[in-house]
Amino acid sequence: MATKEVMVKMMLDRWNASIKNFDDLLNSLSDEQLQKEIGPNKNRGVYLVGHLIAVHDLMIPLLDMGEAVLPNLHKPFVELPDKAIDNLPSTKELRESWSKQRELLKQKFENLQPDDWFEKHTAVSAEDFIKEPHRNKLNVILTRTTHLQYHLGQLVILK
């Protein structure tokens, strides 16, 4: 296996394991537990779930894989803090959105070849990418995996 293939496999294995860990935790938490704050005056579990869905949705255009499919979640879960909007989607709707989005990203990722992961993402200009080739699609997966793990650690507190 070539170096690029090994690197991509390592990153996607970690991404997929993190997604599975999140799925397992999400499935073990009740809707009532997700309504709790992770600490006094901190985000609620339901907000963190919506936040992860919205951030992962924004990966689609960032990775140049099409348009975001859940733009209605961006404002309440990325642009605004928890409790800024009273009428959030239900935990049932968020669980369904998480599952659908997880599968959509999986399909899109499977369509990429190893070399594709080393192309620039859409938030970097061609000129900057020449100077900073590490600002590629695979690096987005690295940062989003870390982000997912961070919030997974917060949600564990709700158990």
pLDDT value at residue 4: 95
* Mean pLDDT (the chain, rounded): 97
Give the mean pLDDT of 86-108.
97
List the one residue out of 127, 123, 112 whose CA is nearest residue 15: 112
Distance CA 134, CA 138 (A): 8
pLDDT tens-digit series, residues 7-16: 999 999 999 9
pLDDT tens-digit series, residues 74-86: 999 999 999 999 8
The total domain count for the chain is 1
List the one residue out of 140, 143, 102, 147 whose CA is nearest residue 118: 140
Give the mean pLDDT of 80-108.
96
pLDDT tens-digit series, residues 22-58: 999 999 999 999 999 999 999 999 999 999 999 999 9
pLDDT value at residue 157: 96
Beta bridge mates, 44: 37
Does residue 124 surpass a pLDDT of 90? yes
pLDDT value at residue 147: 98
Any idea what DSSP says for residue 132? -
Give the CATH number for residue 143. 1.20.120.450
In this structure, are residues 38 and 44 in contact, taking their beta carbons and an 8 Å threshold? yes
Any idea what DSSP says for residue 69? S
Residue 72, domain extent: 3-156
pLDDT value at residue 1: 80
For the record, the structure tokens of 86 come out as: 């009273």
